[in-house]
Amino acid sequence: MSDYYEILGIERNATKEEIKSAFRKKARQYHPDVNKAPDAEEKFKELGKAYETLMDDNKRATYDRYGEDGLREAGFNTSGPFDAGFGDLNDIFESFFGGFGFSSGRATNPNGPQNGADLRLNMQLEFEEAVFGVEKEVTIRYLETCSECNGTGAQAGSKPEVCPTCGGTGRVQQVTQTPLGSFRQITTCPKCSGTGKINAHPCPKCKGDGRIEAERKLKITIPPGVNDGSRIGLSGEGNCGKNGGRPGDLIVVLYVKEHKEFQRDGVNIFSKVDISFPQAAIGDTIEVNTLDGVQTLTIPQGVEQGSVLQIKGIGVPQLGNPNKRGNHNFIINIKTPKNLSSEEKQLYQKLYELNCNKKPSSKFIDKMKNVLHN
């Protein structure tokens, strides 16, 4: 396992432009179509993996902090773009190399093992389900090996025939005339997609693909402590591979609904608690809602507006270590009394006199009268 930055020969703070240009340079050098060294293909794959990871901000941040193991744990596919199918990289190759002298950038043998594609499943969770974990049964649609032909794509008893377009090589040559001269361009044979063979009698069940769409029910265990955007990777639950390639993975992406009362910050919970003037002045013991149900919270005498009171260990379980839990923080909101009864008004007036050591001003009394008569 080597360092992605070293593979590309760049600094750790390299910009995307620098990554692109380093990749372009190295990819030309190690492309298996030009470099016949035995380790060229391996190096080329490494380059693709490093490039794909460092160009994605999320993956790069995870890699910088936790390395390749961290990427895998976070549910990212670390096999690199050349094992998981080309996708974006194919376009990049087109723009980098324009096809001149290269066979469309595909480094794998079309008759060799091809790994199945990863599948993505979005899953919405209730707030509490993300906190405490849950088991969900889902139905996924995926490609499985055709049982009729065992994945060969050919009708029983029939054999593939040599492709007449490329004579079995899987590649065709094209000469392109340009103002700069003529270029010999080798491309994948369009008739046989590079396999060199033609399936003259395709399997009727899968129409020659070797794979058919199927449904599968899966129980997915969501561990306690996951958060909005968390990913869970289920190895081997994606589409089946071809020619003995391994199946892809199922990537479950979690979306967590908001709670009407609680806010979550990592493993800690925050909620607002309204208390009255007298409770703030004298102190009290009140009942509060927590993840573990109703609990008692002690309000200390003289608590200030905006104070944060805490009950430790009843927050969100730590992902991977659920016995450790965060804290619940209660933000105190002191409610100013409104619509006072005449008795309350007299008491507040009395308090005013005690606090201010003077009779209320005439302005204050007028205001009080107004409130009283309305």
- Pairing type for strands 328-335 and 268-276 reads parallel
Q: Which is nearer to Zn ion, 121 or 172 (CB)?
A: 172
Give me the amino acid identity at 230.
S
| CB of 129 vs Zn ion, minimal distance in Å | 40
Cα separation, 234 vs 25, in Å, equals: 35
Binding-residue pattern over the window 193 to 212 for Zn ion, x denoting contact by CB under 5 A: ----------x-xx------
Phi-psi region of 365 (alpha: psi -120 to 50; beta: other; left: phi over 0): alpha
Of residues 29 through 48, those in contact with Zn ion by CB under 5 A are: none
Of residues 89 through 118, those in contact with Zn ion by CB under 5 A are: none
Q: Which is nearer to Zn ion, 205 or 231 (CB)?
A: 205
Q: Is 240 in the site for Zn ion (CB under 5 A)?
A: no
Q: Which is nearer to Zn ion, 193 or 333 (CB)?
A: 193
Q: Which is nearer to Zn ion, 153 or 326 (CB)?
A: 153
- From residue 313, give the alpha-carbon distance in Å to each of 170, 217, 230, 246, 258: 64, 36, 23, 43, 21
Helices (H), the chain: 4-8, 16-30, 40-55, 57-73, 88-97, 127-132, 277-282, 342-356, 362-373
Q: What kind and span of H or E run contains 255?
A: strand 250-256
| CB of 46 vs Zn ion, minimal distance in Å | 30
| CB of 29 vs Zn ion, minimal distance in Å | 29
Q: Which is nearer to Zn ion, 146 or 240 (CB)?
A: 146
| CB of 174 vs Zn ion, minimal distance in Å | 14
Q: Which is nearer to Zn ion, 212 or 316 (CB)?
A: 212
Q: Which is nearer to Zn ion, 166 or 280 (CB)?
A: 166
| CB of 12 vs Zn ion, minimal distance in Å | 45
Q: Are 139 and 250 in contact (CB under 8 A)?
A: no
Q: Which is nearer to Zn ion, 163 or 252 (CB)?
A: 163
| CB of 89 vs Zn ion, minimal distance in Å | 24
Residue 170 DSSP one-character state: S
Of residues 135 through 194, those in contact with Zn ion by CB under 5 A are: 146, 148-149, 163, 165-166, 189, 191-192
| CB of 173 vs Zn ion, minimal distance in Å | 12
Task: Copy the structure tokens of residue 96.
Answer: 């980098």
Q: What kind and span of H or E run contains 20?
A: helix 16-30
Q: Which is nearer to Zn ion, 8 or 163 (CB)?
A: 163
Residue 282's nearest CA partner among 258, 301, 299, 297 is 301
Residue 100 DSSP one-character state: T
Binding-residue pattern over the window 286 to 315 for Zn ion, x denoting contact by CB under 5 A: ------------------------------
Q: At what angle do helices 57-73 and 40-55 cross, to 10 degrees?
A: 120
- Give me the half-sphere count of Cα atoms (radius 13 Å) on the Cβ side of residue 323: 0
| CB of 268 vs Zn ion, minimal distance in Å | 54
Task: Provide the CA 79 distance to its chain's centre, in angstroms.
Answer: 17
* Residue count, binding to Zn ion (CB under 5 A): 12
Residue 3 DSSP one-character state: -
Contacts of 108 (CB under 8 A, 6+ apart): 82, 114
Q: Are 298 and 323 in contact (CB under 8 A)?
A: no
Of residues 265 through 284, those in contact with Zn ion by CB under 5 A are: none
| CB of 110 vs Zn ion, minimal distance in Å | 10
Given the rule CB under 5 A, which residues bind Zn ion? 146, 148-149, 163, 165-166, 189, 191-192, 203, 205-206
